Amino acid sequence: MYGFCSLPLIPLRDAASHSSEMVDQLLFGDTYELLSQTEEWCEVALCRYQYHGWISLKQHTPITDNEKKLIELWPAVVGEPFAAVTLRGKATLLPMGSRLPREAEVTVANIALQHTTTQQQSIATPLESALKLFNAPYLWGGKSCMGIDCSGLTQTTFRVSGAGLPRDASQQALAGREITSLAEATANDLMFFHNEAGKIVHVGIYMGDNKIIHASGRVRIDTVDNIGIMNCETGQYSHKLCSIRRITL
């Protein structure tokens, strides 16, 4: 059985509890496989990047196999921090990264959606999209301008450009191809940072000219060099550089 995110976003939790850690957010148009179900919760696996977690049963929208196939062909991706649509007959804002059908009006799972695809289509680079989210507050597991984490920022902005990335920084560090030195890095390359144990714990988007945009406290711009990220406000290094990867767009 399958479902799709029929709300602007849905929190994905580590366990079947509202007090459990939010590990991700589903965006409108995301599809998922229903793995199990309790009286209040659904265990799901996201179809696009195979991330597991729990959503509230009240937010689960079941779909048929055919509807799933159609939704996954939706070509438009919201490229602005928010896009206004009419959903269930009411004006609704969908966050960046949400997927929309080409048709201006569509009904799926008995839910009516109206929008103007020409206003949602975007050919922005990940860097251009990330700059639109500048100053968005940091939120663990978040993926919208109301709260976003470091890998949520990279995953969402690369999605706008048509490139799919896994959810976590450690998973994203395996994508694309390695760039061997900062001198060879170009704008839109992903930069990864590790902790004392050598585990990748942070990611950002290289801007060129030794600048990086990343989510740390908020979506911010800092200086980066061969050592790592230097906080422009404190003058202290905050993250240690591990690797650089280039994703084909």
Within 13 Å and on the Cβ side, how many CA atoms surround 185? 27
Q: With a cut of 80, say whether residue 204 has pLDDT above it.
A: yes
Note the pLDDT of residue 119. Answer: 52
Cα angle for residues 172, 157, 179 (degrees, 5° grid) = 45
Label residue 76 by pLDDT band (50, 70, 90): confident
- pLDDT, position 116: 85
Mean per-residue pLDDT for 60-88? 95
Residues annotated as catalytic are 150, 202, 214
Percent over 70 (pLDDT), the chain: 98
- What structural domains and CATH numbers belong to the chain? 2-120 (2.30.30.40), 126-246 (3.90.1720.10)
CA distance 230 to 103: 46
pLDDT, tens digit (0-9, with 9 covering 90-100), for 84-126 = 999 999 999 999 999 999 889 999 999 999 998 655 455 799 9
Q: How far apart are CA 175 and CA 132, in angstroms?
A: 24
| Residue 205 burial class via C-beta count within 10 angstroms: exposed 0-12, middle 13-18, buried 19 and up | buried
Residue 127 pLDDT grade (very low, low, confident, very high; cuts 50, 70, 90): very high
Q: How far apart are CA 192 and CA 144, in angstroms?
A: 21
Distance CA 106, CA 219 (A): 34
pTM of the predicted protein model? 0.96
